[in-house]
Amino acid sequence: MYCLESFCTDPVENLNFEEKLCSLNTEIFMLWRNSPSIIVGRYGNIENDVDVDFANSNNIKIVRRNSGGGTVYHDLGNVNYSFIMKDNKNLTLEYFSRIIIKTLYKIGINANLEFSHNDIKADGLKISGSAQYHNHGVILHHGTLLFDSDLKIMQKILKNCGHVANIRPMLKNDMNINEFMKGIFENVEF
């Protein structure tokens, strides 16, 4: 499996890049970040999920993705991950979530999977959500890792924001986002 990092922070470009990677017939694990933006699931209702006036007045892009799942807020304190693999029935949301949970444990975060929403939680608070879709024999599974996001903005812009937390304050050894991403690459096992 190839591991790569996108240094682009434009949400439209990053989502398009994911799509292009799906056509390569190569298994890929990618980390990426977006500038402040709202990413809406395939079937999400923007008006029900997002304070559109707040987004517009703060130049926060609203972008729709191809996968399902809920509406999420991205900023440069959030790390996104993507798995692109040949599709098979064993590659469930739980399968990929378990990989992320094991990786976080190696970095120093004791997380668990909440099955009702496929959320990853630590200390009872959501630190990661994920979604996936299947297309022409390929599965794209992607998710968020709230490392050091602006939770006040997130709660202001998302109408249905639950109980979330950042990973950074939970770490015993403080690290910056680049060190965190390096830790993910060094510890992820497929």
49-90 pLDDT tens trace? 999 999 999 999 999 999 999 999 999 999 999 999 999 888
Mean pLDDT of 151-159: 97
CB count, 10 Å around CB of 39? 25
pLDDT of residue 117: 74
Q: Where are the domains of the chain?
A: 2-187
**By CB neighbour count within 10 A (0-12 exposed, 13-18 middle, 19+ buried), where does 104 fall?**
buried
Mean pLDDT of the chain: 95
pLDDT of residue 129: 94
Mean pLDDT of 172-181: 95
pLDDT of residue 131: 95
**By CB neighbour count within 10 A (0-12 exposed, 13-18 middle, 19+ buried), where does 143 fall?**
buried
Share of the chain above pLDDT 70, in %: 100
DSSP string, 47-96: HHHB-HHHHHHTT-EEEE-SS-S--EEE-TTEEEEEEEEE--TT--HHHH
Q: For the full predicted model, state whether its pTM sits above 0.85.
A: yes
Please name the helix (run of DSSP H) or strand (run of DSSP E) that holds residue 157, with its range, or none.
helix 151-157
Mean pLDDT of 161-170: 95
d(CA 80, CA 10): 13
pLDDT of residue 181: 98
What CATH number belongs to 2-187? 3.30.930.10
Q: Which pLDDT tens digit goes with each residue over 110-142? A: 999 987 777 999 999 999 999 999 988 999 999
Beta bridge partners of 64: 40
